Every structure is written in C-alpha cells, then in structure tokens.
Structure 1
Amino acid sequence: MAARTALFVIDIQNELAVNDDTRIPHAERIRNSGEKILQAARTVIDSYREKAATSPFIIVFVQHEDSCLVVGSKPWELVFKPRPNVEQEILISKKTSDTFESNPDLALRLRTLNIEKIVAFGLQSEYCVEATCKGALEAGFNVTLLTGAHSTYDTSEKTALDIENEVEERLLSLGAQIASWEKLSFA
C-alpha cells in the first residue's frame, strides 16, 4: 500500500470559532479556509470510495475536552464534523494540547493505516496546533502546517498574526514544513 496522509483538523470548536463572546479574532478566516480544505479532501476521498479503492488521505477531527469544553456542551461541539459511515474520517478526543500525548496509541493506529504524513490546521496556534505538530514530529511523521488556516487570540504583547508566524518558525526549525492552505493539492 502506498504512503498516505492524515489531514488533522485541530479543535475547531464552537467556543473558539463561533461563539461571539469567546471566538478568536480570525475565526471567520479559519472557518472559511477549513471549509475549502475539507471540501477538497472529501472530493478526493469520495472519488476513491466510488472506485472502492484506498484513498491516499484520511481526515482526523481532533476535539479538545476540559473544564470549559465540557463533553456534550455547545462550546465543545465541533464546527466541522466527521461524516457518519465514512471510515476515512475519524474523531479523536484529547485532554492535553498534544493529541499524541492524549492518545498514546494514535501513532501506531496511524501507521497501521500507512500514514506517513500529517497535514495540520486549526486552533489555537501556540497551544494545541503546535503541540500536536510537535507530537507528530516526535512520533516520526512528516508534518506540514497550513499557514493561513491556524490562529489564536491576540495577547497584550502580540497579535494573533505574530503568534501564528512564531509558531510556524518554531515548527520549521524542528523539521516541519509550512505550506499555504490555498496551494494545498489533494490531487
């Protein structure tokens, strides 16, 4: 079986991406880019499903849970959800920033699916996105972070855009690739 890619959709949940009182400043950009990324990935997945062939991609929806993101609550709900009965779309819950740390068997599970590369986007850049990318690198996966498709909150010292750039620089220095989501090809 040929090497495959897992598209990680990290913590795009109502609390961070939809709720008027708590969403990040660039929530609309993340929702719009996420919608287009998922549409392209699903088009490829569906074309392989129609042929009963193995798709070169799977989609991993990551959902954080903690004291603010309580399981079953409206803030905890995902903006983008896996489609029912589509085995190439899986849901992974986590309780720490690093999806791999929260799910010690995840790397092995992905390897059994012949996943070699992780392409990631989502929320928040300096927390769950960066930690999950680092976890994937440490587990031996090739990692690409999609610039323009991850973000966070402004702080008193830095804008969200500054933080996005810093995260990209740190991950690049660790061996990740950075690519524009608009140039992402699922062909």
Structure 2
Amino acid sequence: MTRTALFVIDIQGELAQDPKTEIPHAKRIREAGDAILTKAREAIDKARANGQHSDLEIVIVQHEEKPEEGTMIRGSKSWELVFAPREGDDTEILVSKDVSDTFESNPQLASQLKARGVENIVAFGIQSEYCVRSTCNGALAAGFKVTLLQGAHSTYDVDGKKAEEIETEVGQELKEKGTDIIPWASWQP
C-alpha cells in the first residue's frame, strides 16, 4: 500500500500566533492548517473505524534554535506549536529540526518513512522560501513524490516582495523540480 506523509512545517508561536512577530498571513495559515489537519485526522479515524490501517500519517515539524541563533528556543512561547500531534496516536509524529531542511536535520527520517511504506509527501507551513522549500527539496532528493499545498504556506514580506509573490516563486521553483502544486482546499487524503 502506498502511503502519504502530511508534513506540517514550523507552524509555531513566533511565526503564527504572536501579533508582534507573526507572518502577515498567519491567520490564513492557521485556518488552512486547521482544515487540512481536520480532514487528515478524519480520514485516519475513518480507516481505523473500518478496521483498516490508514494510508496517511502526519509529521509535525518543529524548528528549534539555540539562544545565540534566534528566539525559537525549546520551551519558549516562540517555539510552541500551533498544531501539536495527537497524544498516543501512532499515525502522528513530532520531528524536531535545527536547519531548514527537515530531512537534513533528521538523516534517518527518509528511510524510516520509506520503511512504513510512505512514498508521497504533502507539505504546507511556514516559511515558504526557507523551511518549506528546503524540506520539499529534501523530500525530492530522497526520492519521494512531493505535493505542495498552495495557499497553506507563507512567509514574511521581504526585500520589497510581498509574501504572496514569494509563495508563488517558491511554488514555481518547486514545480519545475517535479513537485505537484495544488490548492490546499482541493487536497484529499
């Protein structure tokens, strides 16, 4: 059975819940994330209720910095997750990282996912041009089929570019490398 891992990337306090530091489209990302996770968890629960193993798992990615590197320090409000994995649910895992690419930060992750039958990665989160792009590139390099959920990833306005422009550029760059880009609302687990 081909399985999919839904990557929820760095939707954390500093980036998505603090009015002083959050990205401009934090509310959109929180609302999209809530809807995506609800849909994914309902599909997992439905499979269980029917006595089946789900072909979906959820990977919650949490960025962590050292005090000299930034403010997303383990235990801080900035570091806290907006969407935590469900307690005691073996279809949801928490992965910590300290560089942009989740796979680079966790060299064993690709083989662990493949051992569980995962061939597809579906990704969304924060920041488009850093951790989202890097993790998608890492997944492609590891041989996964990758889908990026358009409208469910974003970033800050940077260097005279609006966040939406950066989202589009990252989507186009990843599409040219073989990533499927689909509107988040059309994704079906």
Percent of aligned positions that are identical: 56
- Aligned residue for 2:168, secondary structure, equals helix
Task: Tell me which stretches of 4 or more aligned residues in structure 1 moved more than 4 Å.
Answer: none
Q: Give the superposition deviation at 1:52.
A: 3.4
Aligned to 1:57: 56
Aligned to 1:37: 36
Aligned to 1:107: 110
- Aligned residue for 2:132, secondary structure, equals helix
Aligned to 1:4: 3
1:158 equivalent in alignment to 2:161: yes
Question: How far apart, in 1, do the equivalents of 2:77 and 2:161 lie?
Answer: 29
- Aligned residue for 1:132, secondary structure, equals helix
Given residue 153 of structure 2, which amino acid in structure 1 is its aligned partner? H
**What is the root-mean-square deviation of aligned Cα atoms in Å?**
0.7
Question: How far apart, in 1, do the equivalents of 2:139 and 2:13 lie?
Answer: 25
Matches within 5 A, 1:14-33: 14-33=13-32
Select 1:119's aligned residue among 118, 122, 130. 122
Q: Give the superposition deviation at 1:157.
A: 1.9
Select 2:181's aligned residue among 175, 178, 183. 178
Question: How far apart, in 2, do the equivalents of 1:163 and 1:134 lie?
Answer: 16
> Which sections of structure 1, spanning at least 5 residues, go unmatched?
none
| TM-score normalised by L of structure 2 | 0.96
Aligned to 1:145: 148
Select 1:130's aligned residue among 130, 133, 138. 133
1:168 equivalent in alignment to 2:171: yes
Given residue 124 of structure 2, which amino acid in structure 1 is its aligned partner? F
| TM-score normalised by L of structure 1 | 0.97
> Which sections of structure 2, spanning at least 5 residues, go unmatched?
none
Question: How far apart, in 1, do the equivalents of 2:140 and 2:21 lie?
Answer: 30
Select 1:91's aligned residue among 91, 94, 99. 94
Question: How far apart, in 2, do the equivalents of 1:155 and 1:139 lie?
Answer: 30
